[in-house]
């Protein structure tokens, strides 16, 4: 017995669902099904119709036909048994036995047909077994869903407890506000609220912390926000005891953080007052009237077998002026005379003055430079670029030697730094194959860290100077292809640049003393790789 197809068609010949169990083209099955309504005679009691090549075994289902297309050599008794089983399955999946109901459940019917017929032959299954197979119920899946739901419920309970604790801490804080903070409350201070938010403590909406200038209390309040664990000034008494509860960690949290640290993750601890003071200090306005920043960005691609694929340096000189009265100036510079560097001035800069005297000034001498700190990068005065394939000018070269020995891969990495630069905060990131645990580091000059989430080994050297122009690291991992350890990414900074550009003087155009200026110089990596 070979069933070619099982189909559901309307009495007008429209095909609603058809599942083929042997290899046949779409044109052939459409031709066979289109010929069926013409072969069925009215008033006949037969359940099959034969042609020269195939046999149609069918059963009316209300306004539709359930149809099996078989070859003429098949056993018609088994075909009728198959048809009877399919006729029981169709009402199980389709609520309404019309065109709309059949089309809505077409995929469910196809899946059920597949469970009954396999490669044209009937399977020994019942209606209940077919329904069970199609439902695909899994005890493990139910158990997993129960576990996930229990975790969600537990998390919701923890959230409710934390919310109640926060509400209690607000009540305690408000009680303390009525006592120790009464003097500040009467005058209002919006800065206390900001200092609390800096220390990741919710200040709440009550307690009389209104918005206001503080009436001369800005110095005391600033010192309080910086020295949160020290002794606060007399105008602000000891903070309420809810403060300590907010900063503390539960035992469960500590255990979770320790487990993450054991896996090699970097855990950022709660922000301490010292760090808050540093971030506040970093956001302070510039103290010098004029600040000139020299920055060069490195884009380098080195070949793993030696040589330079790409070496590109892009530099900028930017200007920041605090006061408008210092805007009428010109900047005199000098460069290291590197012939490979091409300088390009801003369109508003006098190019002739720069070419002849290395002085950067506006074309209109009566027009001042823009002032203020709205743009953190400042006003761009000069750009330059250098490209080369000379390996001798590369600040840092990396050699990686993976070798497989037995069931282990030994990887030796060494760096060589040029004497032109002292490199700071060097991080060499080596990709690794997926590992269950951290690699075995046999030897390292500096420090190392394994990032299990990104499968990356990071080799850190705080400073590379004349005392450590070269260094190495060796580690062992399970057997892996050598291409896995590339590309190697490198990050570092330096205090001097390839252009060696320096600001010699700032010349006032109105006369008078030279304004005080500061110069900041930095070389950074934008994209530094060994491929």
Q: For 231-249, how does the pLDDT look when each residue is reduced to its tens digit (9 = 90+)? A: 344 433 444 444 444 444 4
Structure tokens at 22: 């042997």
Mean pLDDT is lowest, of 48-57, 70-79, 110-119, 229-238, for 229-238
In this prediction, residue 278 has a pLDDT band, given cuts at 50, 70 and 90, of very low
Average pLDDT, stretch 123-149? 82
Query: Within 10 A of 510 (CB to CB), how many other CB atoms are there?
Result: 9
Residue 476 near residue 407 (C-beta atoms within 8 A)? no
In this prediction, residue 30 has a pLDDT band, given cuts at 50, 70 and 90, of confident
Closest CA to 518 of 278, 285, 348: 285
pLDDT of amino acid 492: 96
- Greater confidence (53 vs 430) lies with 430
Average pLDDT, stretch 295-321? 93
Q: How far apart are CA 473 and CA 147, in angstroms?
A: 44
Q: Is the confidence at residue 314, as pLDDT, over 90?
A: yes
Q: How far apart are CA 321 and CA 370, in angstroms?
A: 7
In this prediction, residue 256 has a pLDDT band, given cuts at 50, 70 and 90, of low
Angle at 506 between CA 362 and CA 524, to 5 degrees: 90
In this prediction, residue 376 has a pLDDT band, given cuts at 50, 70 and 90, of low
Q: How far apart are CA 441 and CA 331, in angstroms?
A: 51
CA-CA-CA-CA torsion sign (293, 397, 480, 407):
negative
Structure tokens at 95: 């609520």
Q: How far apart are CA 7 and CA 310, in angstroms?
A: 64
Q: Is the confidence at residue 525, as pLDDT, over 70?
A: yes
pLDDT of amino acid 412: 94
pLDDT of amino acid 191: 41
pLDDT of amino acid 367: 87
Q: Is the confidence at residue 214, as pLDDT, over 50?
A: no
Structure tokens at 158: 């923890």
State whether residue 47 is helix, strand or coil.
Answer: coil
Query: Within 10 A of 291 (CB to CB), how many other CB atoms are there?
Result: 19
In this prediction, residue 100 has a pLDDT band, given cuts at 50, 70 and 90, of confident
Average pLDDT score, the chain: 79
Q: Is the confidence at residue 529, as pLDDT, over 70?
A: yes
Beta-carbon contacts of 294 under 8 Å, excluding residues fewer than 6 positions away, are: 315, 316, 317, 497, 499, 501, 503, 519, 520, 521, 522
The terminus-to-terminus CA distance of the chain in angstroms comes to 62
pLDDT of amino acid 74: 85
Structure tokens at 353: 């003055």
Structure tokens at 420: 């032109």
In this prediction, residue 205 has a pLDDT band, given cuts at 50, 70 and 90, of very low
CA-CA-CA-CA torsion sign (510, 514, 518, 522):
positive
Average pLDDT, stretch 185-195? 41
């Amino acid at each position: 017995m070979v069933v070619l197809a099982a189909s559901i068609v309307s009495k007008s010949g429209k095909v609603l669902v058809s599942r083929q169990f042997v290899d046949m083209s779409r044109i052939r099955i459409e031709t066979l099904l289109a010929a069926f309504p013409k072969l069925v005679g009215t008033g006949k009691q037969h359940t099959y119709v034969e042609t020269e090549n195939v046999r149609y075994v069918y059963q009316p289902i209300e306004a539709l036909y359930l149809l099996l297309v078989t070859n003429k050599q098949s056993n018609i008794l088994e075909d009728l048994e198959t048809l009877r089983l399919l006729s029981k399955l169709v009402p199980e999946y389709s609520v309404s036995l019309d065109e709309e109901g059949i089309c809505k459940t077409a995929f469910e019917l196809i899946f059920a047909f597949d469970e009954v017929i396999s490669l044209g032959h009937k399977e020994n299954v019942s209606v209940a077994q077919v329904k069970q197979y199609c439902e695909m119920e899994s005890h493990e899946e139910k158990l997993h869903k129960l576990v996930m739901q229990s975790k969600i419920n537990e998390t919701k309970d923890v959230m409710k407890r934390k919310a109640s604790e926060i509400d209690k801490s607000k009540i305690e804080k408000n009680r303390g506000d009525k006592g120790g903070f009464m003097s500040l409350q009467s005058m209002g201070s919006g800065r206390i609220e900001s200092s609390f938010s800096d220390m990741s403590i919710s200040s709440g909406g009550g307690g009389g912390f209104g918005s206001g200038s503080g009436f001369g209390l800005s110095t005391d309040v600033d010192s309080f926000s910086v020295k949160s664990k020290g002794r606060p000034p007399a105008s602000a008494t000891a903070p309420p005891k809810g403060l300590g509860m907010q900063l503390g960690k539960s035992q469960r949290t500590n255990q979770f953080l320790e487990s993450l640290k054991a896996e090699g993750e970097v855990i950022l601890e709660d922000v301490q007052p010292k760090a808050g003071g540093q971030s506040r200090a970093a956001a302070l306005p510039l103290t010098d009237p004029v600040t000139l920043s020299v920055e060069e960005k490195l884009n380098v691609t080195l070949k793993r077998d030696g040589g330079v694929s790409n070496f590109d340096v892009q530099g900028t000189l930017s200007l920041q002026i605090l006061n408008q009265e210092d805007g009428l100036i010109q900047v005199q510079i000098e460069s290291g005379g590197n012939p490979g560097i091409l300088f390009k001035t801003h369109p508003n800069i006098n190019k002739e003055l720069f070419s002849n005297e290395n002085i950067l000034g506006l074309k209109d001498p009566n027009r001042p430079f823009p002032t203020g700190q709205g743009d953190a990068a400042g006003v761009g005065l000069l750009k330059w670029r250098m490209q080369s394939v000379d390996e001798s000018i590369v600040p840092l070269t990396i050699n990686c030697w993976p070798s497989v020995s037995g069931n282990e891969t030994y990887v030796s990495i060494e760096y060589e730094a040029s004497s032109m630069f002292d490199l700071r905060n060097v991080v060499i990131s080596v990709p690794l194959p997926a590992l269950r645990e951290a690699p075995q580091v046999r030897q390292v000059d500096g420090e190392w860290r394994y990032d299990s989430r990104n499968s990356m080994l990071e080799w850190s050297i705080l400073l590379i100077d004349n005392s450590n122009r070269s260094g190495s690291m060796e580690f062992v991992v399970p057997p892996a292809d050598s291409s896995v350890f590339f590309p190697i990414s490198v990050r570092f900074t330096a205090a001097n640049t390839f252009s060696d550009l320096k600001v010699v003087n700032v010349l006032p155009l109105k006369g008078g003393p030279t304004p005080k200026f500061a110069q900041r110089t930095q070389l950074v990596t934008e994209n530094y790789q060994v491929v």
